[in-house]
Structure 1
Amino acid sequence: MELEAIYKRVIGLDVHQAQVTACALIEQSDGTTRAEQRQFGAFKRDRRALAQWAAALSPDEVVMESTGIYWKSPYAALEAVGIHAKVVNARHVKNVPGRKTDVADAQWLAMLARAGLLRASFVPPARFRELRLVARQRQNLVGQLAAEKNRLHKVLTDSGVRLGVVVSNLHGQSARAMVRAIIAGQPPHEVLKYASRRLRASREDIFDALQGDLSASHLFVLNELLAHIEEIEARIARFDARLLEGLATEREALALLQTIPGVDQIGAAMLLVEIGTDMDVFGSADRLASWAGVCPGNNESAGKRKSGHMRRGNRYVRRLLCEFAHAASRTQCVFKSKFQALVIRRGYKRSIIAIGHKILRTIFFMLKRGEHYRDSATDYEALSVQRNAPRWIKALTKFGFIEPTRV
């Protein structure tokens, strides 16, 4: 039994680092099918030749595997000539082992595409793909920053300075000033002057925590670590500015996402460049969650439910959703109550993933409908009035808008 042809002109591309193998299946006027196979290199001139060859055939479908990052430059070359190729999951088009060659893989892709059996993966517009580079590098820098901060804490502890015991954040404004003073070689009673009065620890405890045995090597390493930390922080600030500048036209979507508990401006921007603003490409919230890899997998055979491990999905989106879930679980909202109900029986990590899943589904409907977040458990307007009413009344009375109450 042969596969029924839905498309008459298709091209399958087997993409590798150094070459691209192409197979075109063209249905002739007499009903026969002509196969044309070509091989192209991976350089710019080769990608341009590939795009020109594909455009000359006027294909109905062009498909390629999502092989690492190698598919991106051929995809952009095809996009430049008006061809929007389908990037498909390699697991969905796996050929029979023992019969695999580059030519056979390209032909197999073309056959499946001709029968309409392939579903394209989500590929954002070119503008968002470029901003993805900025957002993902920013995430890498944040990881480097956290690692360097931990190293600085470790070196301080190694020298006997227990500053981390008396401050909640070793890199807050007050603690950073004290670390700089320590590196400058100031004695503990001078370093103590930089301690904020808002610190909960007593002055005696802070003074005792500053006592240590810092050698010349300790001071050298601390100085280099602090310089590197400040350099990374400045670099992250530049990445933030570049990311927000690139999303200047998406202010409405950014504002919508920031109404969700736990989502700040940078988090909203980094999520937008990953999932885009057009939710019609996913079709449903279930498909979006499956693509991101934050929902259980389906694995059933002979009526038996097997392991439901999550798929890998988009690790950048999953990381952002976990950050949002951590923050939302500490605010007054429906996500907090859901987290508290789950964590008892499912554990902390699974509960965080479940809250991230719920947040992503909420984001889908918000972007699709263009509506801001409305919490089903908390009236934020009433909460704001409750917190600020005394201050508002005092100000209105001061400027004569209402009469002062008399007892």
Structure 2
Amino acid sequence: MEREIVCGADIHKRFLIATIHSPDGQKIQARFESDLEGLQLFRNWLLDHDCRKLAVESTANYWQPIYLVVAKDIEFVLANSYQIKHIPGRKTDMLDSEWIAELCLNNLISPPRIFSGEDRDLRALTRTRENYIKMRSQIKNRIHHELESACIKLSSVLSDIFGKSGIHIIRGLLIGKSIEDILKGIPAKTLKANREEIRKAISANISPIQASLLGQLLNSIESFDREIGYIDQQIQTVISKRHGDLEIAMSIPGMGIISASTILAEIGNFADFKTGEQLAAYCGLVPSVYQSAGKLITGHITKQGSPHI
């Protein structure tokens, strides 16, 4: 089988260095800016040199704009950074783009899966939601810290200080309401703690600076709540096109629509996997197996799959 002309690209934030490598050993190098115009010039340069295969290192997300520009005309190979750094044979004076091109020319790159279209959009939504949840949790922890610093022991008497009763109490304290007025405004059916216990827990004074900080933190939580709600709507719109898959995922006990959507987003097109064992391995849910003293030993699951599953 005749080998084809390939290109290896070393990607940076503002530019990329590309090396076209021919089977006869000829090499052509060029530098391109990483803005849209530069990437279009890069694509045209590849086509002008009859190069139909491009390999790049999976550095951060710098490769994604390149993929969007060239993928329609050129086979795109995404190289795992760890993998290509541990393949022997590289010369010390060889550029990164040359090395990537040489590996690609000799079919030594095992490319990871690349999500496209709606699969990529769904994964972007679920991962953004996950990040928002983490950031909201950090803010909640900060509020706990500020309240404790002010000797407001609300978390000692309420199971969730961010429920309706907790937010009502904190907001009341921040605007200077009396404790009696705060307690009167709490609906009896939402209050499980003893009112006398709450009165003791919130009897300390909050300084103006602490009140300002707490107000800002609460506003941030409300903002994240709105954004998460909006993302949830978008996730449901996108995932509705995979209704059958969603039903199967949600048949797992305790699995809600968001958790199911997150799993489907990380798996992508399950048709890429020939067996259930391959899918389990991709998710990092298979046990590690190693040999010791001539015996095969099964260890813990590898956990080498997506950390988002």
TM category (shorter chain) comes to 0.7 to 0.9
The one of 238, 254, 270 equivalent to 2:246 is: 254
Q: 1:199–1:22: structure 2 CA closer, same or farther, 3 Å change rule?
A: same
Equivalent in 116, 121, 132 of residue 130 of structure 1: 121
Alignment TM-score, normalising by the size of structure 1: 0.65
2:42 is aligned with what amino acid? L
2:217 maps to 1:222: no
Which shows bigger deviation, 164-173 or 178-187?
A: 178-187
Query: Does 2:159 align with 1:163?
Result: no
Q: Distance in 2 between matches of 1:93 and 1:302?
A: 31
Amino acid in the other structure paired with 1:110: C
User: Which of 270, 278, 282 in structure 2 is aligned with 1:291?
Assistant: 282
Query: Counterpart of 1:19?
Result: 16
Distance 1:61 1:54 in 2: 9
- SS of 2:82's equivalent in the other structure is helix
Verify the 8 A CA contact 1:65 1:90 in the aligned structure 2: yes
Separation in structure 2 between the aligned mates of residue 256 and residue 292 of structure 1, nearest angstrom: 17
1:182 to 168, 173, 186: 173
Provide closer, same or farther for how the CA distance between residues 103 and 205 of structure 1 changes in structure 2, counting only shifts above 3 A: closer
Amino acid at match of 2:55: V
1:192 aligns with 2:183: yes
**Contact 1:40–1:47 at 8 Å: present in 2 too?**
no
Q: Could you report, residue by residue, the CA deviation over 1:19-51 in whole angstroms, capped at 9, with x for unpaired residues?
A: 13132435xxxxxx3634232412323322333
Calculate the TM-score normalised by the size of structure 2. Answer: 0.83
**Structure with greater Cα Rg:** 1
SS of match in other structure, 2:18: strand
Q: Which of residues 114, 136, 140 in structure 2 aligns to 1:145? A: 136
More helix by share: 1
Aligned-pair CA distance for 1:203:
2.6
Aligned to 1:8: 3
Instruction: Indicate the residue corresponding to 1:111 in structure 2.
Output: 105
Aligned-pair distance for 1:239?
2.0
| Deviation (angstroms), 1:123 | 0.9
Q: Which amino acid letter does the alignment assign opposite residue 111 of structure 1?
A: L
Q: In the comparison of the two structures, how many residue pairs are matched?
A: 301
For residue 26 of structure 2, give the secondary structure of its aligned residue in structure 1. Answer: strand
CA contact (8 A) 2:4 2:105 kept: no
Aligned to 1:239: 231
Q: Percent same amino acid at aligned positions?
A: 22
Tell me which of 179, 202, 207 is aligned to 2:199: 207
How far 1:111 sits from its partner (Å)? Answer: 3.0
User: Please, which moves more after superposition, 98-107 or 175-184?
Assistant: 98-107
Q: Which structure has more strand as a fraction of its residues?
A: 2
- Shift of residue 306 of structure 1? 11
Deviations 1:51-91 (A, max 9, x none): 3344456667543332222221222222233x342223233
- Deviation string 1:166-190 (CA, Å, 9 cap, x unpaired) is 1111111222222222222222222
Tell me the distance in 2 between the aligned counterparts of 1:291 and 1:46: 35
Q: 1:284 to 1:306 in 2, by over 3 A?
A: closer
- 1:232-281 per-residue CA deviation (whole Å, 9 max, x = no partner) reads 211222222233333342233223322222322222223322221x2121
In 1, Cα distance between the equivalents of 2:137 and 2:26?
A: 54
- The CA distance in 2 between the partners of 1:294 and 1:191, in whole Å, is 50
Listed as ranges, the gaps of 5+ residues in structure 2 are none
**Counterparts of 1:12 and 1:130 in 2: how far apart (Å)?**
28
SS at match of 1:247: helix
Secondary structure of the corresponding residue to residue 197 of structure 1: helix
Q: CA deviation at 1:145?
A: 0.5
Identify if the C-alpha distance between structure 1 residues 306 and 241 changes in structure 2 by more than 3 Å, giving closer, same or farther: closer
**Alpha-carbon distance between aligned partners in 1 of 2:212 and 2:259, rounded to the nearest angstrom:** 35
User: CA 1:166–1:97 in structure 2 vs 1: closer, same or farther (change >3 Å)?
Assistant: farther
Identify the structure with bigger relative contact order (alpha carbons < 8 Å, sequence gap 6+).
2
- Distance of 1:101 and 1:309 partners within structure 2: 38
